[in-house]
């Protein structure tokens, strides 16, 4: 009779807490995360123990293993209460990444509860999804208008040719305006928020207070829109699930704001960078008018959600060359998994003619980016990138690509700045009206100060 594989980790298999681990977030990781992933892969195989701000975590590096973690919901739980080290009180009290994980919203729910929350978001987002509805049409024209206004502002301030930071002067204010519009929030709400979301995501020393401030802001927004409903996502969430309390809705808005503002903004910048640095395939797809394909190519080369949110093992399980014990924490890395896809460029998986849809830029499995949100994200990215290349006769990086400063946290990899020398086309927008100019100038000043 064949021996059955063990269902619990053998006693002599190494335990995460006792393994020596290297910290992941180093200066080298900041400069070249790809090199770090490759070294970990060589040393440990497709799953590696790493230190994340002092806490040991399994980093999942192999494409196949990442897919397994994303798809197998029964084995890999999102609810932070499954985390053994947390339940046993073994985490440092001020561990900066915990604040975000303690915010109970769709992303950190499992099964039935998760599906219900996802349906609410989907219903609320649906009116914005296609151009046929008044809300969808209005949002589309607003994104284009904001983009044009920002280019006009650039022209007014720096002339038809000059230098610009496409992060501070274009992408970040654009996403703030879109967030304010979609969420139905007064623009004033946006200012300190972006920085607080960064602090939470990157695990800065003040991540806890920053998370609390952002949550309070979105809870206030929920209260405001309950009293004064409008044609916005906040109001539509309340229509989709009238039982939501202001606190619950505030938590959902908070997480959506991370994706809409920060992740989508980074996708814009990463796509612009891929084009500017001359990624030939990306340039080809752009010039062929296939902006969607351009975004996919950029997501493959540099996914903004580099390392996805933690999952926790429901049972002991073998993954890669290790036994993962029940309650262990794993972080599936899209960026590392993409190395597998890119490295086999000569294989049938990612040749030049191969669909880039295999990328994990949108996640995978039951927690992948919801369809309506993906459409919205794609719309914003393609409009933002498309408008730049419509209005710019020329643009080139003013720093060598390997000297660009990155924000490289445990989750996100995004550019801090994207400095270019540009030349506008004669037909580029020049006058956006004094009111819009005033608003945009204020936003731009804000972003320059905080960025
Ligand atoms: C280009 C832009 C975007 C990218 C690259 C992106 C990427 C992702 C990824 C990778 C995940 C899965 C994370 C994980 O499993 O840990 C995700 C989930 C999610 N995204 Fe997006 N996203 C984008 C835009 C948006 C937008 C615009 C919204 C909302 C307005 C949004 C809302 C969400 C939500 C709510 C989830 C959690 C779903 C769940 O847990 O069931 N995303 N996104």
Domain of residue 319, CATH code: 3.30.43.20
State whether 194 and 293 are in the same domain.
Answer: yes
Distance in angstroms (rounded) separating the CA atoms of residues 220 and 212? 12
Locate the ligand 1 atom nearest the alpha carbon of residue 381 and give its number. 1
State whether 3 and 112 are in the same domain.
Answer: no
pLDDT tens for residues 323-364?
999 999 999 999 999 998 887 654 444 445 445 678 899 999
Q: Which of the residue ranges 109-113, 286-290, 349-353 would you say has the lowest mean pLDDT?
A: 349-353
Q: Is residue 64 part of a domain?
A: yes
What is the 420 CA–ligand 1 centroid distance (Å)?
A: 29
* Domain with 184 in it: 97-299+360-450
State whether 369 and 255 are in the same domain.
Answer: yes
Query: Ligand 1: residues within 6 Å at CB?
Result: 106-107, 118, 121, 255-256, 259-260, 263-264, 267, 304-305, 308-309, 361-363, 367-370, 373, 376-377, 381
State whether 391 and 408 are in the same domain.
Answer: yes
Overall domain count for the chain: 2
State whether 314 and 238 are in the same domain.
Answer: no
Locate the ligand 1 atom nearest the alpha carbon of residue 70 and give its number. 15
Residue 438 contacts by C-beta under 8 Å, 6 or more apart in sequence?
Answer: none
- Determine the pLDDT at residue 433: 54
State whether 350 and 365 are in the same domain.
Answer: no
- Once rounded to an integer, what is the mean pLDDT over residues 100-122? 95
Q: Which residue in 30, 38, 21, 103 sits closest to 409, CA to CA?
A: 30
Q: Which residues of 132-153 are buried (b: 16+ CB within 10 A; e: fewer)?
A: eeebbeebbebbebbbbbbbbb
State whether 219 and 182 are in the same domain.
Answer: yes
State whether 209 and 151 are in the same domain.
Answer: yes
Q: Is residue 304 part of a domain?
A: no
Q: What is the pTM of this model?
A: 0.91
- Determine the pLDDT at residue 439: 55
Q: Is residue 366 part of a domain?
A: yes
Q: Which residue has the higher pLDDT, 286 or 359?
A: 359
What is the 328 CA–ligand 1 centroid distance (Å)?
A: 24
Q: Is residue 194 part of a domain?
A: yes
pLDDT confidence band for 296 (50 / 70 / 90):
confident
Q: Is residue 150 part of a domain?
A: yes
pLDDT tens for residues 359-393?
899 999 999 999 999 999 999 999 999 999 889 98
């Amino acid at each position: 009779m064949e021996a059955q594989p063990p269902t619990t980790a053998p006693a002599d298999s190494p335990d995460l807490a006792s393994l020596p681990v290297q910290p992941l977030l180093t200066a080298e990781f900041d400069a070249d995360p790809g090199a770090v992933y490759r070294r970990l892969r060589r040393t440990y195989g497709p799953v590696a123990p790493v230190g994340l701000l002092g806490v040991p975590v399994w980093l999942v590096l192999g494409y196949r293993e990442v897919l397994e973690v994303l798809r197998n919901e029964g084995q890999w739980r999102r609810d932070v209460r499954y985390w053994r080290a947390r339940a046993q009180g073994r985490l440092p009290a001020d561990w900066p990444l915990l604040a975000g994980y303690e915010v109970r919203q769709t992303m950190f729910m499992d099964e039935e509860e998760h599906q219900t929350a996802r349906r609410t978001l989907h219903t609320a987002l649906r009116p914005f999804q296609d151009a046929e509805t008044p809300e969808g049409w209005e949002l589309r024209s607003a994104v284009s208008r904001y983009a044009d206004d920002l280019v006009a502002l650039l022209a007014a301030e720096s002339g038809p040719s000059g230098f610009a930071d496409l992060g501070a002067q274009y992408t970040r204010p654009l996403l703030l305006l879109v967030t304010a519009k979609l969420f139905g929030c007064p623009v004033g709400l946006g200012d300190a928020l972006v920085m607080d979301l960064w602090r939470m995501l990157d695990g800065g020393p003040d991540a806890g207070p920053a998370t609390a401030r952002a949550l309070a802001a979105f809870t206030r927004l929920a209260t405001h829109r309950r009293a004064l409903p409008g044609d916005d996502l906040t109001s539509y969430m309340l229509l989709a699930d009238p039982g939501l309390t202001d606190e619950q809705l505030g938590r959902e808005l908070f997480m959506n704001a991370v994706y809409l503002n920060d992740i989508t903004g980074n996708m814009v910048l990463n796509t612009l960078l891929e084009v500017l640095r001359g990624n030939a395939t990306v340039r080809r797809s752009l010039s062929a008018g296939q902006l969607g394909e351009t975004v996919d190519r950029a997501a493959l080369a540099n996914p903004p959600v580099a390392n996805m949110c933690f999952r926790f093992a429901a049972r002991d399980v073998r993954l890669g060359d290790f036994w993962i014990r029940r309650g262990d924490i794993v972080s599936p890395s899209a960026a590392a998994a993409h190395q597998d896809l890119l490295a086999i460029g000569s294989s049938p998986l990612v040749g030049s003619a191969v669909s880039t849809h295999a990328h994990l830029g949108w996640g995978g499995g039951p927690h992948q980016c919801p369809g309506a949100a993906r459409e919205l994200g794609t719309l914003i990215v393609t409009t933002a990138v498309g408008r730049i290349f419509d209005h710019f006769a020329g643009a080139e990086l003013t720093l060598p690509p390997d000297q660009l400063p990155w924000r490289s946290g445990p989750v996100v990899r995004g550019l801090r700045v994207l400095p270019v020398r540009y030349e506008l086309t004669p037909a580029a927008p020049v006058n956006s009206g004094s009111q819009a100019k005033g608003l945009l100038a204020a936003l731009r000043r804000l972003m320059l100060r905080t960025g």
